[in-house]
Structure 1
Amino acid sequence: MVRAIILSIVFISIPAFSAVYQCTIDGVATFSQLPCGEDTKEIIIPETNVAQGIPKQSKAVAGEVDSYITMQKIDRDIALLQREIKQLQDTLAAQKTKISYMTQDTANRMGASSIADAIAQRTAQVERRIKPQIEQYQQQIETLNTMKTQLSQ
Structure 2
Amino acid sequence: WLPFVMSDVTLLHTMLLLSASHCRSVHGPNVHAIDTITLRGWAIRGINESLLDRTKLASDELVAAVFNMATYEAIFGDRDTYILHMSGLRRLVEHRGGLARLGLDGLLERTLLWIDSNASLIMGFDDFCFPKAMFPSVYSHPPPDPQTF
Bucket of the pairwise TM-score, normalised by the shorter protein:
under 0.3
- Give the structure with the larger strand fraction: 1
Q: Which structure has the greater CA radius of gyration?
A: 1
